[in-house]
Structure 1
């Protein structure tokens, strides 16, 4: 569990560094600073995956089976939101923080279907980080200019691509031993 907690904390610290310690981040420089942040994020991912897989199973509650369907539906929205930065259609003008909203949706969806302590630490920690990140960003930069909406065809292509990505995520979950559908 220690590796998992360290991974979540390192993830949050690396992402929040720029806004909570701008002087330190500036002293690190553009190239070296980005390299260190990237390294910290890669290490945090390794720690989270390794820590989650190695954590003892501590049962907290038994989620009802119908929540699997809710999870899968929320995950479609999460994937669309997380990848929305690349979209140049109408959807990208709807919200300020689509990626962080997608992370919050992903985390909540997984909390609904995983009733063990390691899942609460991982998904609850990521949900808390995403909420804090939005608050910190909004306080640092209160103004936001809504981008002009683009063509609808870009949204259609984006959703189609997100659904293909969702298929890959479902396959990967099954391959890792965590079936996302069926089971």
Structure 2
């Protein structure tokens, strides 16, 4: 039952976040028909419902796991390093004027790709494969679409700076340390370094 709820949540959440993948005009058409406010309301409500179902379904699936493979212990260490990269790319979305954002153009989508890949190689249950595999496929498709549209990320002011890039790395590393050492075990119930 948990797996079905997880799949339903993924369909809602990723489905809402995939409206631009096949054709950006489809999303624009929906906004034109419904109005920006109504579209945002539906988008938000469906996304929240999907996220709740993902969290609940994944939690239920973990109570009675179906093991597909048993990852070697080394995969956890590789996953930890990949997560460091993911956190730095995530920070690049929010820290202004950094070279990482200027170079990657879509660091949020790349961050999700790396996050999903890291968790896929370190976990071997069916629920993990469904959850992280779905996010990985979504991020790959979204990144391809974004690159095809070739929408550059603009900067206010003079563009990327060394200070902005250094701040991005510092914020990413600190966030990774806090999440890996403390938040992951409290939110997810698993310590990444003690299994």
TM-score (norm 2): 0.85
Deviation at 1:177, TM superposition (A): 1.5
Tell me, which stretches of 5 or more residues in structure 1 are unaligned? none
| More divergent stretch after superposition (18-27 vs 78-87) | 18-27
Given that residues 116 and 132 in structure 2 are in contact (C-alpha distance below 8 angstroms), is that contact kept between their aligned partners in structure 1? yes
Q: How does 1:39-118 map to 2 (within 5 A)?
A: 39-55=45-61, 56-87=64-95, 88-118=97-127
Partner Cα separation in structure 2 for residue 179 and residue 24 of structure 1:
42
How far residue 75 of structure 1 moved from its aligned partner, in angstroms, is: 0.1
Task: Name the SS of the counterpart of 2:65 in structure 1.
Answer: coil
Distance 1:163 1:145, change over 3 A: closer
> 1:161 pairs with 166, 171, 185, which one?
171
C-alpha deviation, 1:146, in angstroms? 7.4
- Alpha-carbon distance in 2 for matches of 1:12, 1:25: 18
Query: More displaced, 3-12 or 169-178?
Result: 169-178
Structure 2 Cα separation of the partners of residues 155 and 142 of structure 1:
23
Q: Where has structure 1 moved over 3 Å in runs of 4 or more?
A: 142-149
- Which structure 2 segments of 5+ residues have no match? none
- Please show how residues 136-151 of structure 1 align to structure 2 within 5 Å: 136-139=145-148, 141-142=149-150, 144=152, 149-151=159-161
Q: Is the 8 A contact 2:89 2:100 kept in 1?
A: no
| Offset at residue 20 of structure 1 (A) | 6.5
Superposition RMSD in Å: 1.9
TM-score (norm 1): 0.90
Report how many residues are paired. Answer: 182
> CA-to-partner distance for each residue in 1:102-145, whole Å, 9 max, x for gaps?
10100000001100100000000000111111223334x24647
Given that 1:96 and 1:146 are in contact with CA atoms closer than 8 Å, whether structure 2 keeps it comes out as no
